[in-house]
Amino acid sequence: MPVPLIDSLATTEALAAVFANESILKAMLDFEAALAHVEARLGVIPQDAADAIAKAAQPEFFDAHALSRATLRAGTPGIPLVKALTDRVQAENPNAAGFVHWGATSQDVADTAFVLLLKQVRPLLEADHLRLITALERLANQHKDTVMLGRTLLQPAPPVTFGLKAAQWKAAAQRGWSRVNGRLSETLLVQFGGAAGTLAALGDQGDSVGRALAAELNLGYPDAPWHTYRDRLAAFVAACGVDTGTLGKIARDISLLMQFEVGEVAEPRGDGRGGSSTMPHKQNPIACSLALASAHRIPGLVAAFLSSMLQEHERGVGGWQAEWPILADVVQATGLAVASMAEAAEGLTVDPSRMCANIEATRGVIFAERAALLLSAKLGRDRAHELLSQASRESVSQKRRLIAILKEIPEIARAIAPEELEKLDAPEEYLGAASEFQKRI
């Protein structure tokens, strides 16, 4: 479905469809139809009443805008929905109307409906996470020997490999999805507790109806209703926050590597993708921008959800009513971030020659650490550091290779063999365990 213009940088079409009026209506009506069906099967209500309720529980029979207005007055979508459904059943089968929503409460339908929406979300998030992880693993393997600058505090540091960087991205994205998937699994539980969470209205059949309802909707059945216990949802929201933070970190790295002055990678081009309204030469990091926008938004949403957990006794005042838009926003922001980074990773262009050129542009000062380690054994750590600091400053100010400066310092020339000094700034000679780490992850 089309995404509302105001949400065009906050969701994907697939996720917008999940949280569209028609989808929400269907989820709530599926709850009511399933409840009637299992209650008839267990002899709680007449079969013809269940048939009438199921027949009436179709989204096209209801006005979502009218329900939205009524929800604002009722404080819950369940009350106006049940009234509208009852009116619909009444028109076709007056005797069946009294059995609509039998034994349930308004929060039961609202919570279970949202759980059903989360169930639809799962394959969408999974597919894009797998796209991202697969693309990053491919990049890691293709570039296991591609040497590039390491960067600490945004300044040049000893070399790494792009393979290791991509492998680190992949491992973090994999951990992120594992957390989200695990916490999401824990939320897929039916909510069915009745007025005060005891199902007293159903007598000794309450638990049987609850179990049958969960099975009918293909959801888990909790040990007890969770009306004011929102910890499972909160853990899922927090996992989304961590996941999107990771995706934002990857986006930040790629967008920095895309800067013209760096030019080591580039997002894929596409029709209408990455251009500028006034500067035709530009290729903007749009996928990264969208992921970063999500990563900026989600921490506040996570905090808002954690705040809403403070719910009173058996039914909350205000906390529960805050959740629907927060949850929908968190899920959609997470989905947009992972879809954007999957697109970026799948089409990422890597420029190994520019990576080498950027190493060369440092004139070898990034290997001062290596030289200091060699000198420390002969001259002591403090003297080695003093000499290398001075040599590095001269290399930068004179725009000469560090090796050339070192050769002119007698104390250093005596301490380091000429052949060892000559290969001091060979990047492939100073990668440590990069290859092993890349293979491991």
Which residues have a catalytic role annotated? Answer: 276, 315
Q: How far apart are CA 67 and CA 377, in angstroms?
A: 78
* Contact status, residue 306 vs residue 234, Cβ threshold 8 Å: yes
Alpha carbons within 13 angstroms on the beta-carbon side of residue 257 total 26
- Measured in whole angstroms, the distance separating CA 369 from the mean position of its chain's CA atoms is 37
Number of H helices, E strands in the chain: 19, 4
- Nearest 5°: CA angle at 49, between 80 and 94? 70
User: Burial, 107: exposed, middle or buried (Cβ in 10 Å; 0-12, 13-18, 19+)?
Assistant: buried
Axis-axis angle for helices 231-257, 286-308 (nearest 10): 160
Q: Are 101 and 32 in contact (CB under 8 A)?
A: yes
Encoded amino acid at 83, one letter? K
Helix, coil or strand: residue 291: helix
* Of residues 423, 243, 418, 194, the one with CA closest to residue 341: 243
| Residue type at 339 in one-letter notation | A
The tokens describing 114, both together, are: 């949202």
| φ/ψ of residue 275, rounded to 5 | -85, 180
* Alpha carbon distance 199, 192 (integer Å): 8
**Sheet strands (E) in 87-161:** 147-152, 155-161
Q: Are 330 and 301 in contact (CB under 8 A)?
A: yes
DSSP symbol at 273: B
Coil/strand/helix, residue 103: coil
CB 295 within 8 A of CB 337: yes
* Integer Rg of the chain from CA: 30
